Amino acid sequence: MNLQIVIWVLSPFIVILLLYIILMLYKSYLRILTKIKTPNGVSALEQIELGGLKQWIFIRGTDQKNPVMIFLHGGPGEPALGMSSSRKLDAELIKHLTVVHWDQRGAGKSYNSDIPVQTMTLDRLVEDLNELIDYLRDRFKLQKVFIVGHSGGTTIGIKTAYKYPEKIHAYVGVAQIINDYEGERISYDFIVEEAEKSGDVKKLKKIKAIGLPPYDTPKKYFEKSRLIGRYGGFVHSNTLKQIGSVFFSYLTSPEYTFLEGVRTMRGKGLHFTMMAMYDELKTINFSEEIKSIKVPIYFFAGKYDMITPTILVKNYFNSLDAENGKYLFLFENSAHFLIKEEREKYQDLLINTVLRENLPFKTID
pLDDT score recorded for residue 345: 96
93 and 14 co-located in one domain = no
Report the sign of the C-alpha dihedral through residues 217, 78, 309, 311, in that order: positive
270 and 341 co-located in one domain = yes
Is residue 201 pLDDT above 90, yes or no?
Answer: no
Neighbouring C-alpha atoms within 13 Å toward the C-beta of 55: 24
Residue 188 lies in a domain: no
Beta strand spans in 53-182 (E): 53-61, 68-72, 98-103, 145-150, 168-174
**Mean pLDDT (whole number) for 93-109:** 95
158 and 273 co-located in one domain = yes
pLDDT score recorded for residue 244: 55
Residue 264 lies in a domain: yes
Count the Cβ atoms, other than its own, within 10 Å of residue 232.
Answer: 18
9 and 90 co-located in one domain = no
Contact 241, 247 (CB under 8 A): no
Residue 112 lies in a domain: yes
Here the CATH number for the domain that contains residue 134 is 3.40.50.1820
pLDDT score recorded for residue 135: 98
90 and 162 co-located in one domain = yes
Contact 177, 152 (CB under 8 A): yes
pLDDT score recorded for residue 3: 60
Q: How far is CA 305 from CA 45, 101, 120, 239, 353, in A?
A: 32, 23, 27, 13, 23
At position 9, the amino acid (one-letter code) is: V
pLDDT score recorded for residue 76: 85
127 and 18 co-located in one domain = no
Output phi, psi for 337, to 5 deg. Answer: -100, 50
Contact 263, 269 (CB under 8 A): yes
Is residue 237 pLDDT above 70, yes or no?
Answer: yes
Residue 300 lies in a domain: yes
**Mean pLDDT (whole number) for 176-194:** 95
Residue 253 lies in a domain: yes
**Mean pLDDT (whole number) for 122-150:** 97
Contact 337, 235 (CB under 8 A): yes
- What gap in Å lies between CA 273 and CA 294, rounded to an integer? 30
Residue 214 lies in a domain: no
Contact 50, 131 (CB under 8 A): yes
Is residue 132 pLDDT above 80, yes or no?
Answer: yes
Residue 340 lies in domain: 42-182+235-357
Mean pLDDT of the chain, nearest integer: 90
Q: Name the pTM for this structure.
A: 0.92
- Tens-place pLDDT, residues 75-95: 888 888 766 556 878 999 999
- How large a percentage of the chain has pLDDT more than 70? 91
- How large a percentage of the chain has pLDDT more than 90? 64
**Mean pLDDT (whole number) for 315-329:** 97
317 and 338 co-located in one domain = yes
Helix 201-210 and helix 180-198: axis angle, to 10°?
160
47 and 17 co-located in one domain = no
pLDDT score recorded for residue 353: 96
20 and 51 co-located in one domain = no
Number of H helices, E strands in the chain: 15, 10
**Mean pLDDT (whole number) for 298-308:** 97
The Cα angle at residue 70 between residues 265 and 111, in degrees rounded to 5: 35
Contact 316, 287 (CB under 8 A): yes
Residue 365 lies in a domain: no
Beta strand spans in the chain (E): 42-50, 53-61, 68-72, 98-103, 145-150, 168-174, 292-293, 297-302, 321-322, 326-331
- Per-residue confidence at 365, pLDDT binned at 50, 70, 90? very low
Query: Into how many domains does the chain fold?
Result: 2
158 and 177 co-located in one domain = yes
**Mean pLDDT (whole number) for 222-230:** 90
29 and 93 co-located in one domain = no
Beta strand spans in 62-144 (E): 68-72, 98-103
Is residue 247 pLDDT above 70, yes or no?
Answer: no
Q: Which residue has the higher pLDDT, 33 or 246?
A: 33
- Per-residue confidence at 263, pLDDT binned at 50, 70, 90? confident
345 and 271 co-located in one domain = yes
Residue 224 lies in a domain: no
